[in-house]
Structure 1
Amino acid sequence: MEPYKKTVDAWLRTDLEAPREQRHTVRRITARIEEEFGGAIPYPTVRDFVAATRKEIAAQAGAPVEAFVTRHNALGADAEVDFGDVYVDLAGQRTRCYLFAFRLAYSGKAVHRISRSCGQCGQQAFFDGHVHALTTLSGVPAGQVRYDNLTPAVKQVVFHSRSREENPRWTAFHAYYGFTPFYCEPGLRGAHEEGDVEGQVGYFHRNYLTPVPQVDSPDESTAD
């Protein structure tokens, strides 16, 4: 890394003023070194240098340093839930539907259900997805089920806090089934907190909904 340290340091300092989504990743830095200097540096070497340098730059700039704790999932304990858009050719007409995904954190086993209404618009679809998932899995997670701040569950987000004002029907629903909801931080700060199920929605798109499914009736579009 010696010939490139000052250059990479400058890139990382520029990142302080850049949008979060457009800051250098280790992979992008490795690629730029090869593109601009013709040097092939092993990824772990770049990773270790960037990790140490970012901490130094953040400390010098007085920027807050985020810390992450490795999450260890226990068998049958935790799960994640998400909604995503899908399209179905319904009776020859392309129709926007919604994919409910429920993923167990330890095993990665996931249950999916497509409905005509989304979690933010139809609480019935939100509840139906849970009932279907818990029935399919033959049990209820013993730990926490992680959620984005979906409207069917959350009436109001208490910012700078994990507290939420829940929809009363949702409170009664999860109390009946005996599981504990965990709400992610709003926006990008909470994106990593249920990243596995978000990736699962994309996986389901690519592997089971490509090409676009063709169905003749709404009953066929509600699928596992």
Structure 2
Amino acid sequence: MRGKRLHLKEKFVPLSHAPGHAQVDFGQTHGVIGGVERKIHFFCMSLPYSDDSFVMGFPAETTEAFCAGHNAACDHFGGVPQSILYDNTSIAVVKVYRDGRRDLTEEMIRLQSHYLFDSRFGRPARGNDKGKVEGLVGYARRNFMVPAPRFESFDALNAHLRQKCLERRQQTLRGCQRSIGERFSTDQAAFLPLPPIPYDACEKVSAKVTSQALVRYRTNDYSVPVRYGFHDVQVRGYIHEVVIACGAEVIARHPRSYAREDAIYDPLHYLALLEEKPRALDQAAPLQGWELPDEFATLRRLMESRLGKKGKREYIQVLRLLETFSFEQVHFAVQQALKLGAIGFEAVKHLLIRHIEQRPLRLDLSRYPFLPEVHVARTSARDYAALTSGEQP
């Protein structure tokens, strides 16, 4: 009976590998990034001939991580493998037919067309078809990420992983006469040249802006300027950034969120609408948590005290200066306005432009009827002559 069981166990043929080819897979581990304990997905590319390796961590195993991993790996190796062997991940494969043919995803086709490598795929559920990279996944987890990695950012983690890959080139593996680094030079000589620019590693999806100026991407909502409400847009999801475009114009950029059902706002996107609806200022969700220096709150209090309801709208107009000018410039103008007691939008704008252009500007006092009027009489030449002669006018 035992002999029968042994007979049924699968046997394997030792393989040799030509230089210039690669295998790719993802692995998982846990660590702390930016003080938050989380799952880390790491991209692995192995060169079977030399056993050289590349490992890179990501927040999730996504299309954009898959593409960014290829960019970074090709940059690390200084060339493009002639062919890359994959499993049948849904990132790359839409459908596998019984005869072995595969329909590839559009992103996989674009990536392959950019780098010009041949794609090969293992049999479904047969990890041994790409045993080299499977081994690298385990090796990297045990040797590069034990104890559990703790880094301030994924960039810091990936700098650590890249250094570990470089250090590994000094090793000479069992049964080999040359080190990994020495054999890698043979791999590198067989690579295809790098393209002039890396691949645009992002996921591209179409979406529609809601009435609240939000665009949904992977369960999360990202804001755009309110004037684009109800427009069709394209979302490009990068590893750490979400870019939203309407036609050829980029209308919003946000840090990427990997939470679920999150809302990511840019307060500036809503100021134009708040100028029309100033009563919503205090309850506007996009402005919650927007930390501004104390001078802004002081300016608002004085504006509303002196101008009443109009003061709130003028305060929003001051905030809208941030749509055009830098935060430092607007903050300086607000400080100067408070120092001079010039409380109003036109005053802040005047001081801001004067600071930028380094020249005096005329303030339109007709917009401030509450200011006391000063009448200066015209001086006659006779009065001036009397002053210079010492006579009484």
Q: Tell me if TM exceeds 0.5.
A: yes
Bigger shift: residues 166-175 or 66-75:
66-75
CA distance in 1, matches of 2:57, 2:146: 15
Counterpart position of 1:71: 15
From the CA coordinates, give the structure whose radius of gyration is larger.
Answer: 2
Relative to the length of structure 1, the TM-score reads: 0.65
| Superposition map of 1:122-201 within 5 A | 122-142=62-82, 144-158=83-97, 160-187=98-125, 190-201=126-137
2:33 aligned to 80, 84, 90, which one? 90
Look up the match of 2:374. Answer: none
Q: Deviations over 1:61-80 (max 9, x none)?
A: xxxx978554321122x211
Using the alignment, how far apart are the partners of 1:219 and 1:141 within structure 2? Answer: 25
State how far apart, in whole Å, the 1-side matches of 2:73 and 2:155 are.
18
SS of the residue corresponding to residue 40 of structure 2 reads strand
8 Å Cα contact 1:88/1:221 also seen in 2: no
Mapped partners of 1:70, 1:206: distance in 2: 25
Name stretches of at least 5 consecutive residues in structure 1 with no aligned partner.
Answer: 1-9, 16-23, 25-53, 59-64
Question: Cα RMSD between the aligned structures?
Answer: 2.0
The question of whether the paired residues in 1 share the 8 Å contact of 2:57 and 2:154 is answered with no
Letter matched to residue 105 of structure 1: P
The CA distance in 1 between the partners of 2:2 and 2:11, in whole Å, is 21
Could you say what secondary structure the match of 1:88 adopts?
strand
Q: Distance in 1 between matches of 2:103 and 2:2?
A: 42
Aligned mate of 2:46, from 81, 97, 103: 103
Deviation at 1:220, TM superposition (A): 2.8
Q: Distance in 2 between matches of 1:177 and 1:68?
A: 32
Tell me which amino acid in the other structure corresponds to 1:86. Answer: T
Report how far residue 91 of structure 1 moved: 3.3
CA distance in 1, matches of 2:81, 2:33: 35
- Report whether the alignment pairs 1:11 with 2:7: no
1:110 maps to a residue whose letter is S
* Contact 1:162/1:183 (<8 A) preserved: no
* Aligned match of 2:263: none
Q: How far off its partner does 1:165 sit? A: 0.7
Normalised by the length of structure 2, the TM-score is 0.38
Q: Can you list the C-alpha shifts for 1:12-47, whole angstroms capped at 9, x where unaligned?
A: 32x2xxxxxxxx4xxxxxxxxxxxxxxxxxxxxxxx
Equivalent residue for 1:116, pick from 46, 56, 59: 59
Task: Report the AA paired with residue 168 of structure 1.
Answer: E
Give the fraction of aligned pairs with identical amino acids, expressed as a percent: 29
| CA distance 1:211–1:222, change in 2 (3 Å) | same
Instruction: Show CA shifts across 1:184-222 (max 9, x none).
Output: 1111xx221101111111111111101111122344344
**Which amino acid letter does the alignment assign opposite residue 107 of structure 1?**
S
Give the paired residue count: 160
Q: Deviations over 1:123-164 (max 9, x none)?
A: 00000000100111111122x211011111111121x33211
